[in-house]
Amino acid sequence: MQAALRQETTLDRIYDLFATVQPFFAQSEIAPPAAPTPGGAPPAARAPGCGGPEQLIFMVLMLVVFYFLLIRPQQKRMKQHKTMVEALKRGDSIITSSGIYGRISSIEGNVLTVEIAKGTNIRILKSYVGGVANEQTEKDLTQNPQQPQGTN
């Protein structure tokens, strides 16, 4: 009995959802033909829902904007990361994409062995290297975390 009641309420909810969404998906009616112009010539007819050249130009413009704002910068970042990863060598200080700091102790193909503490090594994939550490990174790591950054 409860299962039937539960199923009934679920079906009611689905029906209510469909009833609220259905008008958005309904096909619009074809407009009645317009009256002829005073000169007797019929008005220019365009099928409902069809876009003109303006719509095509708008779509091309949107594709160009997406290319320059999203695709091109991402490709540049990927290229920079690839060159940085290819330039890694033994002894470089790196930061992984998860924030682990260490020094490369060996490179075996696509796998790096990174020393993160004296006698503690981890193996990571080259693609997970976030960047090469610089002097500022090393200063930040040696700073006492309890101390505010402005005072040294």
117-102-122 Cα angle (round to 5): 70
Quote the percentage of the chain above a pLDDT of 90: 49
Distance CA 144, CA 152 (A): 9
Walk me through the domains of the chain, giving residue ranges and CATH numbers: 88-141 (2.30.30.30)
pLDDT in tens, 84-105: 999 999 999 999 999 899 999 9
pLDDT in tens, 112-133: 999 999 999 999 999 999 999 8
121-127-130 Cα angle (round to 5): 75
pTM value?
Answer: 0.54
79-80-82 Cα angle (round to 5): 65
pLDDT of amino acid 141: 75
Taking Cα atoms as reference points, which of 24, 23, 57, 55 lies closest to residue 46? 55
Stretch 10-15: mean pLDDT, rounded?
70
